[in-house]
A and B are shown apart, each in its own frame.
Chain A
């Protein structure tokens, strides 16, 4: 079958499957074949569930053969960030600590030995119910902590536009999976930018919904007041369709919102003339790469050409977002990650003679450096004596950051800004400088702290220069709570005139000749 069927949009492909013009099994096989051919060089997937995916696809085809109506994602191959629970399929959170102990002769570091959850995350169950086909679990920074995917305990994911560069993180594998056409969509999670930033750096569309719009049940918790699940896709309509499937109240997540789910896909194509777009100058401050600023400003001019009205807005507490976030998120993480103790699931250190030693040894061996750093920082900011100075103060500054947005949204309908101050950087460039890595999250953290929806949509890639190839740049659109449909409308209108429209990395699977092969074994089917 023609594998370019994978380069269709999700609504188109679901239509083809629903009309019987292509079978879900053929599409799934094409996706699995592409993963086999391309992913060795990219590392997007930690595990691939080939047999389960083909069985699910055949079930969709049989359903059609019986004359039953198919769901809105009929036969659409999807990658799932490995921080989301998938029933009986390995789930690692990118960490050693969720690996079952190896038997003799087994490799110690194999994601296929990951924790097998007894249930599906609600978002995963909703995808299945919509007749999507889940092909595998995507790579990530350990426990979603990172902005480059280099904190994966297994191997880094690589950017298909230049495999010597990071794809962003923490949902790097999900972004790569879509950018390289391995699947049509993917789910990620965004705590401080973990969907938007990798989407921007890989030239894909990524949506972080309003906090509470999408259920977090079955998402391995990092920072519970910030975590939110959202979709990746190659275009806005496709991402909108995915969001429509996963959004909505879930009795299993008390923080999920009961407000009606808007018609996100239908919003794409809506007239955006007269929309008031706020441009926060704080987001074009010191530190932004000139090529990124140029591309984003061109996109703003594009929005004006669509009949939108650009207005300056102030978000004066933006500069405090990094400090606020790295206090609050680490505090919540230190609490959430206390559950990994070597007793009920996952890894367990050998030779511990007391319960305390079992905990400490299991956790010391099981967590990677960045996770340990954040747990200790979180423990510090919550400890008596420092609680008021750090944690409580950061919570108060969070209020100021929220108010910035409330004030701004009295004046404008949407805020438009860059996603990341730079394009994708080379692997290894920032691994030894955690603060530099944190500072690059400055444009995505404020919307996370405020709980408001935001997305990244590609704008013009940077021009190739000085041996650096052309690389993607994202435009960030931020809206008031529950206004995802408005963001989709604007993003789709921009996409229609964007110079990035339809751009794909030319050789996503190809390593440059001077690149060492980094993944000795491609991920293998569970079967």
Chain B
């Protein structure tokens, strides 16, 4: 479980602060400090993945057949029930949420829309 020497550096508080900013999370300094410690420990544990040689191993993004996961069905040991390929629906218009329902849960509305602070002047 020892981290590989060429691995990414341990997280610094400033790095966590900028990650929180990227994630749109305004967190107080004591939370950033705490988070820095927690993430450092978690990442040190996660580094054990570096022990494995994954050269030539395809990444799994999805396990559903038809979504780039054709592996399971058809191989030896495959299920007795074959999953069918996912079918896409016809590209036809269908009903969507009525306007007033879509706005019902908004904390603030204005002129039949969602109200937000002005942002045009922002960079």
The one of B41, B57, B61, B101 that contacts A400, using a Cβ cutoff of 8 Å: B57
A396 touching B58, Cβ below 8 Å: yes
Closest to A379 in B: B23
Q: How large is the interface on B (under 10, 10 to 19, 20 to 34, 35 or more residues)?
A: 35 or more
Given A118-B104, A397-B52, A400-B54, answer yes or no on A360-B21 (Cβ-Cβ < 8 Å): yes
B63 touching A323, Cβ below 8 Å: no
Given A100-B105, A257-B83, A386-B8, answer yes or no on A355-B117 (Cβ-Cβ < 8 Å): yes
**In the bound complex, how far is the Cα of B80 from the Cα of A354, in angstroms?**
57
Q: Which of A251, A355, A377 is packed against the most chain B CB atoms within 10 Å?
A: A377
A356 touching B24, Cβ below 8 Å: yes
B46 touching A326, Cβ below 8 Å: yes
The one of B62, B71, B82, B105 that contacts A255, using a Cβ cutoff of 8 Å: B62
B24 touching A346, Cβ below 8 Å: no
Q: Is A367 an interface residue (CB 8 A)?
A: yes
B102 to chain A, nearest CB (A): 8
B25 touching A259, Cβ below 8 Å: no
Q: Is A428 an interface residue (CB 8 A)?
A: no
A340-355 vs B: 1/0 string, CB under 8 Å? 0111111110001111
Closest to B77 in A: A410
**In the bound complex, how far is the Cα of B85 from the Cα of A259, in angstroms?**
9
Given A377-B39, A393-B49, answer yes or no on A372-B25 (Cβ-Cβ < 8 Å): yes
Contacts of A410 in B (CB 8 A): 76-77
B82 to chain A, nearest CB (A): 7
Contacts of A291 in B (CB 8 A): none
**In the bound complex, how far is the Cα of B42 from the Cα of A322, in angstroms?**
10
Q: Is B91 an interface residue (CB 8 A)?
A: no
B83-116 vs A: 1/0 string, CB under 8 Å? 1101111000000010001101111100000101
**In the bound complex, how far is the Cα of B16 from the Cα of A487, in angstroms?**
44
Contacts of A317 in B (CB 8 A): 52
Contacts of B25 in A (CB 8 A): 360, 363-364, 367, 372, 375-376
B106 touching A395, Cβ below 8 Å: no
A225 touching B63, Cβ below 8 Å: yes
Q: Is A402 an interface residue (CB 8 A)?
A: yes
A393 touching B77, Cβ below 8 Å: no
A354 touching B119, Cβ below 8 Å: yes
Closest to B106 in A: A344
Q: Is A20 an interface residue (CB 8 A)?
A: no
B110 to chain A, nearest CB (A): 11
B59 touching A396, Cβ below 8 Å: yes
**In the bound complex, how far is the Cα of B43 from the Cα of A451, in angstroms?**
25
**In the bound complex, how far is the Cα of B63 from the Cα of A480, in angstroms?**
13
Contacts of A260 in B (CB 8 A): 81
Closest to B97 in A: A118
Q: Is B29 an interface residue (CB 8 A)?
A: no
Contacts of A434 in B (CB 8 A): 38, 42
Given A254-B88, A389-B8, A438-B42, answer yes or no on A364-B81 (Cβ-Cβ < 8 Å): no
Q: Is A211 an interface residue (CB 8 A)?
A: yes
Q: Is A359 an interface residue (CB 8 A)?
A: yes
A406 touching B75, Cβ below 8 Å: yes
* Interface of chain A residues 426 through 441 with chain B (CB within 8 A): 434-435, 438
**In the bound complex, how far is the Cα of B43 from the Cα of A409, in angstroms?**
32
B37 to chain A, nearest CB (A): 10
A258 touching B84, Cβ below 8 Å: yes
* Interface of chain A residues 400 through 423 with chain B (CB within 8 A): 400, 402, 406-411
* Interface of chain B residues 16 through 70 with chain A (CB within 8 A): 16, 19-27, 31, 34-35, 38-39, 41-43, 45-50, 52, 54, 57-65, 67, 69
A399 touching B42, Cβ below 8 Å: no
A450 touching B59, Cβ below 8 Å: no
Q: Is A185 an interface residue (CB 8 A)?
A: no
A353 touching B72, Cβ below 8 Å: no
Q: Which of A353, A372, A483 is packed against the most chain B CB atoms within 10 Å?
A: A372
Closest to B56 in A: A396
Contacts of A63 in B (CB 8 A): none
**In the bound complex, how far is the Cα of B118 from the Cα of A474, in angstroms?**
54
Contacts of B62 in A (CB 8 A): 225, 255
B105 touching A345, Cβ below 8 Å: yes
The one of B31, B61, B69, B102 that contacts A372, using a Cβ cutoff of 8 Å: B31
Given A323-B46, A360-B21, answer yes or no on A225-B61 (Cβ-Cβ < 8 Å): yes
Contacts of A383 in B (CB 8 A): 19, 22
Contacts of A376 in B (CB 8 A): 16, 19-20, 23, 25, 35, 39
B35 to chain A, nearest CB (A): 6
B117 touching A407, Cβ below 8 Å: no
Q: Is B79 an interface residue (CB 8 A)?
A: yes
In the assembled complex, 9 residue pairs joining A and B whose CB atoms fall closer than 8 Å, in A order, are A115-B105, A255-B64, A317-B52, A355-B122, A396-B59, A400-B52, A402-B60, A480-B79, A481-B72
- Ranked 9 nearest A-B pairs via Cβ: A451-B63, A395-B59, A364-B26, A410-B77, A348-B107, A360-B26, A345-B105, A396-B54, A355-B119
Apart from A115-B105, A480-B77, list 16 A-B contacts with CB within 8 A: A257-B64, A320-B48, A326-B46, A355-B122, A363-B24, A364-B27, A365-B26, A379-B23, A395-B61, A396-B59, A397-B54, A400-B52, A410-B77, A450-B63, A480-B72, A483-B81
